[in-house]
Chain A
Amino acid sequence: MLQTSTVPASPGVLAQPAFARAIDRLSQLSVDGYYNPYRSFDWPDAIDADSWWMSPELLSVSGTEAGAELDEDTLRRLAKWESINFYSLNVHGIRELLQAVIARLHEPGYEVASKFFHHFVGEENDHMWFFAEFCMRYAGKLYPDRQVRIETATDPAIENFLTFARITIFEEIVDFYNTAMGSDERLDPAIRKINHVHHVDESRHIAFGRKLMVLLHDELRAKGDEALLDKVSEYLRRYMTASVRGFYSPDVYRDAGIAEPLALRRRLMADPARAAFDAKVLRRTTDFMTATGILRPVREAA
């Protein structure tokens, strides 16, 4: 879940020359790669119901005992609905991150970042459109947002850091799936294309988000509060776990005709194969956050 806030960044935190140069480079890449999403996709009239709509290795049942009990027809139905769930998660996640970024456009402290924020907002709006378009054209619906926002007041520096950390984590998780599906020849060309296009744009957004995350974390670090840094790290670990759990959807299992969808979900989440897969999805993110000191070793309670 992503939350919105309008708190300013501390003056100077994002005014470093290296960050400004990166913003210029990323902004130029956005200009050079500009495309009209409304003209860029050849939407087929239908997508073969018997084809794989999602790479079978990416299904939430992949590698599990419970998955091995499902026949191929069920797995293909599941692939269709898991793909719709994936794009729905994208739509809801993008809507949330747009609110967070728009709230900061031209706010004090974000003068340098704002230049790229405009590209970011435009591109994310395009992504939200084509993911929603896919769902509505081929499934007639989006899955509803299952996240519940509980607002809690917090320090502006913490809120700013966590906002961009959540955005970047969300984008990195999504990119794992986009990268795999963007080049999977078993998938319909329309499916490959939306995943590939998203991956290309997201590579810039992730580069931007990582730089922002590190600078904002430096601001937190400057407070010299080790317990706070541990707490932030622990929150991000929990956030990553909660995020990947969105891929285990009882609504999807129900639509795929699977009996007792909540029991299946519980069984899958207890399967060691899924813990290994989820760790793989998150590895690039956890490696980066560990290397930069954002994720800290888990300390045992005294």
Chain B
Amino acid sequence: MTDLTPAADAEARILDWLLARNPELQAIPDDMDLIENRVIDSLDFMEFVFLLEEVTGRSNLLDGVSVDAFRSLAAIRSTFLAG
């Protein structure tokens, strides 16, 4: 069992996923540009979107959303995890 709220739990899973794919990183600051810094690249992107769909319980997250919505943890939080 976890004591985290659903949003915090989702965020923790996202962070774990990103860190697992980027073992050279110790942490990912909220405002780090995930694309510029190649924390996510084109080949990872589909898997990342499926992870987001899983943790948010929403499907087709790419519909009507620009790549900027995935650009930082802060952007992901406000676009997909808030309320």
Contacts and interface: CB of A to CB of B under 8 A. Distances in A.
Contact of B53 (A148, A238, A262): A262
Interface in B24-53: 35, 41-47, 49-50, 53
Closest 6 CB pairs of A and B: A148-B45, A242-B43, A262-B54, A150-B42, A238-B43, A146-B46
A147 B50 contact: no
Nearest to B46: A146
Q: In which size bucket is the chain B interface?
A: 10 to 19
Interface of B is mostly: helix
B62 interface: yes
Contacts of A299: none
Interface in B50-83: 50, 53-54, 59, 62-63, 67
Nearest to A241: B43
Contact of B62 (A1, A146, A245, A266): A146
Contact of A250 (B44, B50, B62, B63): B50
Contacts of A263: 54
Interface residues of A, number: 23
Interface-central residue, A150, A245, A262, A263, by most chain B CB under 10 Å: A150
A150 B46 contact: no
A1 B42 contact: yes
Nearest to B42: A150
B49 A146 contact: yes
Most chain A CB inside 10 Å of its own CB: which residue of B35, B42, B46, B59: B42
B46 to A, nearest CB: 5
A249 B62 CA distance: 15
Contacts of A251: 59
A41 B16 CA distance: 50
A292 B56 CA distance: 44
A159 B63 CA distance: 29
A280 B63 CA distance: 33
Nearest to B48: A148
Given A1-B43, A265-B50, A150 B67 contact: yes
A130 interface: no
